[in-house]
């Protein structure tokens, strides 16, 4: 199985901050990497697919980059509605998807 490791596990930041979350795969997954946002009690929401493509309707302050084993999700200027948990997911071994453990983004 492909293991996905996110860092940090939690992060405190302020509105307006630039934030970066990292995801590392246990083997090369090319660009088969997606990012999801999940708020408490809600289903995950797709933000980024294929490492850097923005899902329709997602604000442009979200961006993704990387390939191979190392990937990043960046939020350029945090908004109040961005405080949530973020998950990376590999689709290289589709449909045997695996996720990172999540990064909880909290208000400082």
Closest distance of CB 97 from another protein, Å: 4
Q: Is 51 in the site for another protein (CB under 8 A)?
A: yes
CA–CA distance, 51 with 63 (Å, rounded to integer): 9
62 lies in the binding site for another protein (CB under 8 A): no
Q: CB 77 → another protein: shortest distance, Å? A: 25
Using the rule CB under 8 A, which residue among 50, 59, 77, 107 binds another protein?
A: 50
Strands (E), the chain: 4-7, 10-13, 19-25, 33-38, 45-49, 53-54, 62-67, 70-75, 85-90, 98-99, 103-107
- Is residue 37 near another protein by the rule CB under 8 A? no
Between strands 70-75 and 62-67, the pairing is antiparallel
Residues that bind another protein (CB under 8 A): 30-32, 34, 36, 38, 42-46, 49-51, 53, 55, 87, 89, 91, 94-102
């Amino acid at each position: 199985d492909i293991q996905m490791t996110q860092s940090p596990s939690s992060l405190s930041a302020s509105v307006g901050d630039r934030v970066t979350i990292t995801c590392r795969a246990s083997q090369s997954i090319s660009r088969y990497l997606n990012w999801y946002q999940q708020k408490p009690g809600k289903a995950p929401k797709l933000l980024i697919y294929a490492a850097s493509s923005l899902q329709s309707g997602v604000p442009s302050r979200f961006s993704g980059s990387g390939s191979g084993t190392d990937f990043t999700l960046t939020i350029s200027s945090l908004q109040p509605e961005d405080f949530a948990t973020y998950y990376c997911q590999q689709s290289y071994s589709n449909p045997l998807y695996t996720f990172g453990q999540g990064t909880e983004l909290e208000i400082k």
